[in-house]
A = this chain, B = another copy of it.
Amino acid sequence: MSRIGDENIVTSAASSRRRPESLPQLHSVGRPEKQTIWQDLGHTFKETFFPDDPLKSFKDQPASKKFVLGLRAVFPIFDWGRQYNLAKFKHDVIAGITIASLCIPQDIAYAKLAYLKPEYGLYSSFVPPLIYAFMGSSRDIAIGPVAVVSLLLGTLLSAVIDPDINPVEYTQLALTATFFCWLGFLVDFLSHAATVGFMAGAAITIGLQQLKGLLGIKKFTKDTDIISVLKSVFSQAEHGWNWQTIAIGVSFLILLLIAKYIGKKNKKLFWVPAMAPLTCVILSTLIVFVTRADKHGVQIVKHIDKGINPPSASKIFFTGPYLLKGIKIGAIAGVIALTEAVAIGRTFAAIKDYSIDGNKEMLALGSMNIVGSMTSCYVATGSFSRSAVNFMAGCQTAVSNIVMSMIVFLTLMVITPLFKFIPNAILAAIIISAVINLVDIGAVVLLWKIDKFDFIACMGAFFGVIFISVEIGILIAVCISFAKILLQVTRPRVALLGNLPGTTLYRNIQQYPAASTIPGALIVRVDSSIYFSNSNYVKDRTLRWLADEEELNKESNLPKIQYLIIDMSPVIDIDTSGIHALEDLNKSIQKREIRLHLANPGCVVMTKLHDSGFVDVVGQDNIHLTVGDAVRACNRKILEETA
């Protein structure tokens, strides 16, 4: 293979040395062939929704093959299932048992966060993981209810229907929201920064709410902001706290935290924190059962239904006033659920080097929740803590989810009645020890270091959640995230370029202090597409550079600026407002006898400049492939004029 780079410098330089005055232009600025509007729209649609071209493998295949391929595309299990073997199965069984032992106590606890009956948590760990195993593309994710989504659902739903007064309709609304949670999958609304802040805020909110269970308080606020919660806690300090409950709760919480610490210190002992919750549940339930502590004010689960998920399709509100509310709540919960699941999937996929197909994931997560809503499940997604355990336990495929699901099935069929003696305090302790991980101080520090704006978005979400409410926290985070994008588009940088000594390159003089400006020419680069929202700004900013530079030149007796060269490399698109701004700019500088040159406009920009006739206004000769070419052309003209 030839060393293209070096050779070409030589060629072009040699020719430029031989006839420097009439350097042949090897290439003019390209302009792609015009497409019809339908080709254009089709292309845009495909690029917008399918970065990965899902139908590619279907091309030129017979119908039967297409069916098989389609089946495999929707149900990846038919794809990876063919390579499945006993060795993998052994690993999956071990991982499945481990995550089942972790999920059963968590399910019961999280259902309470969503103000649902405890069995709904278990239901949601039975059906959705089964569906996901067939449709999902992650091998490591553990599906089921999660703390943050449960909190979010609980808050949003209880603002519409009081779960204590009207538990039946409340559950129906929860199922409706679950049915529609795929709506939240439609857009990437949340930045990483916003998610970090939101999760930390939600973790603290959830943790504080658990003081209710941990301290045995009976009357407790439904508001989630830190001030209401702390008021609730301390106003009950004298008579509301139950000391037996506190003894059980705090001692087991300490046990759980120690188990967590052991798992963190020695990765091989990951099963210690994984098994700890179930162990604590069993121990504490035995203690309560033996001492009958429930007669001394220790609150217990009391009632939990036996048997698997009852069908619930008929309970979903498809009409009536609650339909819209259900859709809205579902979409909000869906945003969080999807963000979490995809983040988990990608994290582990990157570690094991396989790829997660974004569209298939959405299909899988959406389908499992739609089916879930018809089988008495509430919103399920990927749980970070359980997925990590799944991974460390050596899971190979989504079969570990099937194993977990089967154990939950057996639990529902056989032993749920025994769960009624579980003290609420132990559930609170389990939740607290689970959500602690969601506060990721390291990530916040990194945000501060890397990107102050991201840090602000993170803090906005965090304080929004803990001081106002979870939904306001999300709203703040989304607004800040999008405001940043819009600000950047509305107020792009317009950089001054200079020549890097010894090269034909022109770079931002702020970034490269060695770069020197060219006498007689001003070179600017517009660092954004030019739209209506920034076109006037770009024009004004460029004229200001021009005025500044002319003043400087006057002070130091340098030649007058005769050429304005705009580097269009980062200008990907331009709209009609943008073209008008360029026209205005051109008129303004023409009056001052300054000529406009453009360098390196892209595909779309070039097409539009042609269609609008602006190419003829500037002159085809004044549009160059590189800034270097433009400077050369200007210098040649200056020489010709002085000669």
Q: Report A's interface with B, CB cutoff 8 A.
A: 1, 3-6, 8-14, 16-17, 20, 23, 26-27, 30-32, 37, 40-41, 47-48, 51-53, 187-188, 190-194, 342, 346, 350-351, 353, 355, 358, 446-447, 449-454, 481-482, 484-493, 495, 499-505, 507-508, 510-514, 518-520, 527-529, 531-534, 536-537, 540-541, 543-544, 559, 569-570, 572-573, 575-577, 579-580, 584, 587-588, 591, 602-603, 606, 608, 611-612, 625-626, 628-629, 631-632, 635-636, 638-639
Contact A541 B51, beta carbon cutoff 8 Å: yes
Give CA–CA (A6, B503) in the complex, Å: 9
29 example contacts (A-B, Cβ-Cβ < 8 A) are as follows A1-B519, A1-B638, A3-B636, A8-B499, A8-B501, A9-B12, A9-B16, A12-B502, A13-B14, A48-B491, A51-B541, A51-B544, A52-B544, A187-B533, A188-B533, A191-B575, A192-B575, A192-B576, A192-B580, A350-B584, A353-B588, A450-B576, A450-B611, A451-B575, A451-B576, A482-B486, A485-B486, A505-B625, A527-B602
Nearest-Cβ distance from residue A11 to partner chain B, whole angstroms: 6
Min CB gap A640→B, angstroms: 12
Complex: how many Å from CA A511 to CA B636?
Answer: 27
Complex Cα distance A378/B536, Å? 28
Contact B532 A191 (CB under 8 A): yes
Question: Given A53-B544, A570-B572, are A16 and B23 neighbors across the interface (CB < 8 Å)?
Answer: no
Known: A6-B16, A26-B500. A487 touches B603 (CB 8 A): no
Q: In the complex the two chains form, is A503's CB within 8 Å of B51's CB?
A: no
Q: Can you add 18 more A-B contacts, CB < 8 Å, to A3-B20, A193-B532, A485-B489?
A: A4-B635, A5-B629, A6-B17, A6-B23, A8-B499, A8-B501, A12-B13, A27-B502, A30-B512, A187-B490, A447-B576, A450-B576, A451-B575, A451-B576, A482-B486, A489-B489, A508-B602, A511-B602
CB distance from A226 to the nearest CB of B (A): 26
Task: Name the residue on B nearest A514 (C-beta).
Answer: B27
Task: Tell whether, in the assembled complex, residue A632 and residue B6 are in contact, meaning their CB atoms are under 8 Å apart.
Answer: yes
Taking CB as reference atom, which chain B residue is nearest A487?
B48
Measured between alpha carbons, how far is A270 from B121 in the docked complex, in Å? 79
A188 CB contact (under 8 Å) in B6, B490, B608: B490
Q: Are A4 and B537 in contact (CB-based, < 8 A)?
A: no
A30 contacts across to B, CB distance below 8 A: 507-508, 511-513
A581 to B631, CA, bound (A): 37
Query: Is B575 a contact of A493 with CB atoms below 8 Å?
Result: no
Complex CA distance for A97 and B528, rounded to whole angstroms: 46
Query: Once bound together, how far apart are the Cα atoms of A575 and B480, in whole Å?
Result: 13
* Contact partners of A559 in chain B: CB under 8 A: 1
On chain B, the residues within 8 Å of A639 by CB distance are 3
CA distance A579 to B447 in the complex (A): 11
Q: Is the CB of A508 within 8 A of B450?
A: no
Instruction: Report chain B residues within 8 Å CB of A503.
Output: 8, 12, 26-27
Residues of B with C-beta under 8 A to A541: 47, 51-52
Closest to A502 in B: B26
Residue of B whose beta carbon sits closest to that of A542: B51
B residues near A446, Cβ cutoff 8 Å: 576, 612
Q: In the complex, are the beta carbons of A588 and B350 less than 8 A apart?
A: yes
Tell me if B611 and A449 are in contact (CB < 8 A).
Answer: yes
B577 touches A511 (CB 8 A): no
Q: In the complex, which residues of chain B have a beta carbon less than 8 angstroms from the beta carbon of A512?
A: 27, 30
Task: Please name all residues of chain B whose beta carbon is closer than 8 Å to the beta carbon of A17 when the two chains form the complex.
Answer: 6, 10
For A505, list chain B residues within 8 Å (CB): 27, 625-626
Q: Which residues of B contact A23 (CB under 8 A)?
A: 6
Assess the A454–B575 pair: CB atoms within 8 A: yes
A536 CA to B338 CA, complexed, in Å: 14
| Contacting pair A591 B353 (CB below 8 A) | yes
The answer to whether B492 touches A540, judged by C-beta atoms less than 8 angstroms apart, is: no
Tell which of B190, B452, B489, B638 touches A40, judged by Cβ atoms closer than 8 Å: B452
Bound complex: CA A534 to CA B485 (Å) = 11
Q: In angstroms, how far is the closest chain B Cβ from the Cβ of A583?
A: 8
Residue of B nearest to A453 (CB): B575
Q: Whole-angstrom distance from the CB of A50 to the nearest CB of chain B?
A: 9
Q: Given that A5-B504, A502-B11 are known contacts, is A493 also in contact with B51, CB under 8 Å in the complex?
A: no
Q: Hey, which chain B residues are within 8 Å of A573, CB to CB?
A: 488
Minimum CB–CB distance from A210 to chain B (whole Å) comes to: 30
* Shortest beta-carbon distance from A615 to chain B in Å: 12
Closest residue on chain B to residue A20 by CB atoms = B6
List the 10 closest A-B pairs by CB distance, nearest first: A13-B13, A191-B532, A5-B632, A353-B591, A192-B577, A30-B511, A570-B570, A51-B540, A30-B512, A51-B541
- Inter-chain contacts of A588 with B (CB < 8 A): 350, 353, 355
CA distance A487 to B529 in the complex (A): 13
A43 smallest CB distance to B (angstroms): 11
Complex contacts, A191 vs chain B, CB 8 Å:
531-533, 575-577
Out of B37, B355, B488, B511, name the residue touching A32 (CB < 8 Å): B511
Q: When the two chains form their complex, are residues A493 and B577 in contact, meaning their CB atoms are under 8 A apart?
A: no
What residues on B are CB-neighbors of A531 within 8 Å?
A: 191, 484-485
